[in-house]
Every structure is written in C-alpha cells, then in structure tokens.
C-alpha cells in the first residue's frame, strides 16, 4: 500500500470536508472509516430520518452512563458509523451558530476563530438556494435548501412567534439569527445532502483519495511524533502510515477515546488502564457538552398534521413517490419552521431554539399521539453543565464511558422552565386558535416549578449535539487539547478536526459548524 501525505480517522462531517480540500490541493489522503456504505433509502430519503440513527448498521450504539440529575436514566447518544458519519443519520437541520458563539471562542483562547474568521469558511462550503446575500455562499459543495412549508402549521408557528412579540428572521444563518422563520436543511433534489454526498464522492474522483474500511485502534507514535494509525481490518492488525500528518476526525466521543488510548489525556486515568502517558492533558475527554430538549405536544383540532400518513399505507405511498420522483413528503425532514429566542431581557443573544414539527411523535419515530397533533422541540442552547468521556478499559474495542452530567447546574432548570412557559405563550396565540387542541405533554396540569422539573427529569432527551471534548485553546491553558491551528498540544504531526474542538457549544445544530472546522482545518494544514 502506498503511503499518503495525510491519514484522516473518520469519514464524518469534518473528515469528508477535510479530505476533499486536501485532495483538491493536490495532496494524497487515506481516510479510515469503520462504517460502511451510505447508499440506501433509509439514509438518502429525508423523510426516513428516524430510522438510520436507530439502526446498528449505521450507528455506534452509544449511551450515557446513568444520569444522576435525570432520574438515573441512560440517554442514547447516536453517532454515525457510516460514510458521512453523523451527517448521514442526523435530522439534516443546518445552523451555523450565532456570531457571539464564535466571539466567545476567540475570547476564550481560540485565536483566529472569531466570527469574521469563520464566516469565509461558512460561505465557501455552501451553495445557498435562498436567494442572493452577502452573508451566504453560492458555489460550495454543500447545498442548503428550505422546505416548501405547504402545511399550514409551519406558517402558523412563525406567525404565532411574531404575535407573541418576537421578531421574524428571513435568514437565521445570515445577519440576524434571533426570531421565527423558515428552517434550513442539507437537502438537495429531494435527497439527504450529507458530507458524503457533498464532499466525499467528488473527492474520490480525483485519484488522490483512498478510503479504507477499518477500525482505528490507536495513533502510532515515535516519541511524541505521530506517523500513522494502527487499524484492525478483517480480523488483522495493520499499520497505515502518513508521510506528513495524522488528523483525528472521529467524533466528540471517539476522538478523545483515541487520544487517550494513544497516550494523550489525564495521566492518572491513563495509568489506571495500563497506558503510558505521553502528554498529561486533563482536557482530553473533559468539557463534554450537549443540547437537551423536550417535546411540547398538542392535539390538533383539524386533520392537518402528518398523522394522515402515519400508517403502513400512508408511509408506503410517501416512500413510493420518493423512490420514483424524489418528491413529496419523503423529500423533506419536516423541520420547516423554527425559532431562536432569548429567555429574558437580560440575555444578550438567543438561548432557546425551536424545531417545529406538524406531528406529535418522538424523534425515534415512536409514541405517536393517537390522532392529529403537532409539537415543538425546545431546549436551552448554552447549558453550564459539563461532562466527560473516559476509557472503560485499555481495550480499543470497548466503548468509552460517557457522562454528560446533564442538568447539574441550577441555571439549567431555570432555563428549561422558561422554555415550557414561553412555548405555551407561543401556542396560545391567535395563529393557532383554529388548530390548537389539548396539551398532550407536559399537560395543562403541569404548572409549578416542581411539576415542570419532574417532567424534565423524566422526559428530557438529547438533541444529539455532543461536542467540546478536545477544545481549542492557548497552549498554556491546561484544559486545552489543541492549539488554534488544531495541533494536539504535546504532539507533533497530529491534529484534531471535528466537533471535539469546540470550546463551547454553538447555538443550534452542530453539523454546519463541524463541517466548517474541516474546511478551516484544511487551510491550517496546507499553510503549515
């Protein structure tokens, strides 16, 4: 096997973008991915989004340790085990994040990652189909579209937000995030436009990319210099070497695991598992963050929701139309309107996000209401709770221990109560008068702080946005894992490029900023 200039671990959102840009610049790349093909209707059909994240073929199958502040529940933590990574199993919602998210990154030590620094990469990566805007890109690999909002409930949600006193926003990924408006998605011509479709397939055509299906066990080092990756393929242990650098893009769960297995992490923890520390970096696996959300559900007084299609015959009709024409309900993720609001006047930028759905159903496709209904997914954006990723053992085959420590900060409870009460204000507006039936959950009798807290404890779910476990920071910051050029502190020829590097979680869904990290990483590497 010929040696490549670069070896990337993980064909996910950032890894695919990085492979594309490096090969575009004439470099040779070996991309290691444990998962298999993303071809098939369960992934490519947007309306089938609840299936791939619940299929062991496409998902790593992670779950958290019992969460002490959520009644000891274990929360599922889907991560893509497939070409395209989590961009092949996610909800396809596209959110850049707020300007102030990236200003915080810069101020916290991620020099060169302020909003003005990252905006060119957001523009470079996208082809936006919403018109012409100085804030948006028009020639990138990632197609960004909007649903048609034919269902009257979508526009009722936007109108209700305005009636409740919040602004409208024509483009929350443009100049103004705050407000209610149309939601954007990585969907193009009726198909999921994952990182595999946008970046990986074009990159494979230039002859400089080699994709290997294998399990990455650890990073190979001479002293502290990375020179390759130890993999397991078809039951055999092999070595894949890099002429220049190794880049870890294996997700905020598997990236810190790989770093720790390779000797980078909290020294005492590594020794407990028989691993010799090469660099004592307590930030590896620390700073774990996520978005939690609840589903505020209502019965519908009119038969306008997707419940009409929520049966075997209806799903079959939707599926056949999509297979034949790539049109109809199957061509949408059904998240077509949204909102970003502040929970109070003392908050300087939005801290609550809404996904509106014209059906009362769980994210995993289960527990549909018996009849027509609708719901808003709602949750705080900047939880102060922090968790950890830790090794369960020194065996690379064993899943890491995931402790989100959800709801461990008292402010989280205050913010979630505000979510419940503000959502009720929205659905109480005139725009929903003809559609709004009884509140299914939490239920009209859930009113006091204690009652709301009990509902959250039992029903809050992850929005599947884990990040932060190998954060960017100053080299003298003991909790930083990578420097502002994404080089692993204490190592040579080793970088990280995925959502692990986020110093703090961004406002909204993470696929967009994860791809941006891959885009920006390529420039750091090529300049180096």
pLDDT tier at 139, thresholds 50, 70, 90: very high
Residue 82 annotated as binding? yes
pLDDT for 2: 67
Based on the number of CB atoms within 10 Å of its own CB, is 380 exposed (0-12), middle (13-18) or buried (19 or more)? buried
Angle between helices 410-427 and 449-459 (to 10 degrees): 100
Share of the chain above pLDDT 70, in %: 98
Instruction: Write the class of the CATH domain 148-182+292-380+407-459.
Output: alpha beta
Is 260 annotated as contributing to ligand binding?
no
Q: Do domains 1-61+77-147+187-285+466-528 and 148-182+292-380+407-459 have the same CATH topology?
A: no
d(CA 83, CA 292): 26
Fold classified for 1-61+77-147+187-285+466-528 = FAD/NAD(P)-binding domain (3.50.50)
Q: What pLDDT is attached to residue 361?
A: 85
Give the Cα separation of 304 and 301 in Å (integer): 9
Is the pLDDT at 231 greater than 60, yes or no? yes
Residue 1's pLDDT band (boundaries 50, 70, 90)?
low
How does residue 364 score in pLDDT terms, banded at 50, 70 and 90? low
Cβ-based burial of 300 (10 A; exposed 0-12, middle 13-18, buried ≥19): buried
Looking at the DSSP bridge assignments, the partners of residue 179 are: 340
Supply angle C-alpha 510, 513, 517, rounded to 5: 130
> 3-class SS at 170?
coil
367, pLDDT greater than 80: no
Q: What is the DSSP letter of 71?
A: T
Q: What average pLDDT score do residues 129-133 get?
A: 96
Q: What pLDDT, on a 0 to 100 scale, did the predictor assign at position 428?
A: 98
For range 191-220, the mean pLDDT: 97
Please report the pLDDT score of residue 310 as a whole number.
Answer: 86
Q: Is 516 annotated as a binding residue?
A: no
Q: Is the pTM of this model over 0.85?
A: yes
**Checking DSSP bridges between strand 292-300 and strand 373-380, what pairing results, if any?**
antiparallel
pLDDT single digits (tens) 319-341: 999 999 999 999 999 999 999 99
pLDDT exceeds cutoff 70 at 383:
yes
For the chain, what are the domain ranges? 1-61+77-147+187-285+466-528, 148-182+292-380+407-459
| CA dist 324 → 37, 327, 331, 507 (Å) | 22, 8, 11, 37
pLDDT of residue 362: 72
Residue 135 and residue 123: Cα distance in Å, rounded? 7
pLDDT of 492 higher than 70:
yes
Residues 351 and 343: beta-carbon distance below 8 Å:
yes
Q: What is the pLDDT of residues 178-192, one digit of tens each?
A: 999 999 999 999 999
Q: Which are the catalytic amino acids?
A: 465
**Could you read off the pLDDT of 17-26 as tens digits, one per residue?**
999 999 999 9
As a whole number, the mean pLDDT across the chain is 96
pLDDT average, residue stretch 503-520: 98
91 is in an annotated binding site: yes
Pairing of strands 215-222, 225-233: antiparallel
**Mean pLDDT (whole number) for 390-408:** 98
Q: Is the pLDDT of residue 251 over 90?
A: yes
Per-residue pLDDT, 368: 57
- What DSSP string describes 360-396? ---TTS----SSSEEEEEEEES-----BEEE-S-S-T
* Cis? peptide before 442, omega within 30° of 0: yes
Torsional sign, CA 284, 378, 456, 361: negative
311 marked as binding residue: no
Is 369 a residue whose pLDDT tops 90? no
Give the pLDDT band of residue 528 (cuts 50, 70, 90): confident
**Mean pLDDT, residues 455-466 taken together:** 97
Mean pLDDT of 513-522: 98
């Amino acid at each position: 096997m010929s040696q490549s200039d670069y070896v990337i671990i993980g064909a996910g959102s950032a890894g695919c973008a990085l492979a594309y840009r490096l090969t575009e610049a004439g470099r040779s790349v070996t991309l290691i991915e444990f998962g298999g093909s993303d071809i098939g209707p369960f992934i490519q059909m947007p309306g089938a989004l609840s299936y791939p994240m619940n299929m062991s073929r496409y998902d790593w199958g992670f779950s958290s340790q019992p969460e002490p502040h959520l009644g000891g529940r274990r929360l599922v933590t889907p991560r893509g085990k497939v070409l395209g990574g989590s961009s092949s199993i996610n909800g396809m919602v596209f959110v850049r994040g707020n300007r102030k998210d990236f200003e915080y990154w810069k101020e916290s030590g991620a020099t060169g990652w302020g909003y003005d620094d990252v905006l060119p990469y957001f523009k470079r990566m996208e082809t936006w189909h919403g018109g012409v805007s100085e804030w948006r890109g028009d020639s990138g690999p990632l197609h960004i579209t909007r649903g048609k909002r034919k269902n009257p409930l979508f526009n009722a949600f936007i109108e209700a937000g305005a009636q409740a006193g919040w602004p409208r926003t024509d483009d929350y990924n443009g100049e103004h995030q705050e407000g209610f408006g149309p939601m954007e998605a990585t969907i193009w011509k009726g198909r999921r436009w994952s990182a595999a479709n946008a970046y990986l397939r074009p990159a494979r055509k230039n002859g400089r990319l080699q994709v290997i299906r294998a399990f990455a066990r650890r990073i190979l080092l001479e002293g502290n210099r990375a020179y390759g990756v130890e993999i397991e393929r078809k039951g055999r242990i092999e070595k894949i070497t890099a002429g220049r650098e190794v880049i870890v893009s294996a997700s905020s769960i598997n990236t810190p695991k790989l770093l720790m297995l390779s000797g980078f992490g909290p020294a005492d923890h590594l020794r407990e598992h028989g691993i010799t520390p090469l660099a004592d970096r307590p930030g590896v696996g620390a700073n774990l963050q996520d978005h939690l959300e609840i589903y505020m559900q209502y019965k519908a007084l009119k038969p306008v929701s997707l419940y009409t299609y929520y049966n075997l015959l209806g799903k079959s009709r939707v599926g056949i139309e999509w297979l034949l024409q790539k049109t109809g309900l199957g061509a949408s993720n059904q998240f077509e309107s949204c909102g970003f609001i502040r929970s109070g006047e003392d908050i300087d930028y939005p801290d609550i996000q809404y996904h509106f759905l014209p059906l009362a159903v769980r994210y995993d496709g289960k527990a549909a209401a018996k009849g027509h209904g609708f719901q808003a997914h709602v949750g705080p954006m900047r939880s102060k709770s922090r968790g950890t990723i830790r090794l369960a053992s020194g065996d690379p085959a064993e899943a890491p221990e995931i402790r989100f420590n959800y709801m461990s900060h008292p402010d989280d409870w205050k913010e979630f109560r505000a979510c419940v009460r503000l959502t009720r204000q929205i659905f109480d507006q005139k725009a929903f008068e003809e559609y709004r039936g009884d509140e299914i959950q939490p239920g009209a009798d859930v009113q006091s702080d204690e009652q709301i807290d009990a509902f959250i404890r039992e029903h809050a779910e992850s929005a599947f946005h884990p990040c932060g476990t190998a954060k960017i920071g100053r080299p003298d910051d003991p909790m930083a894992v990578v420097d502002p050029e994404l080089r692993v502190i204490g190592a040579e020829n080793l970088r990280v490029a995925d959502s692990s590097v986020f110093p703090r979680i961004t406002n909204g869904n993470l696929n967009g900023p994860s791809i941006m990290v891959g885009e920006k990483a390529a420039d750091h590497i090529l300049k180096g």
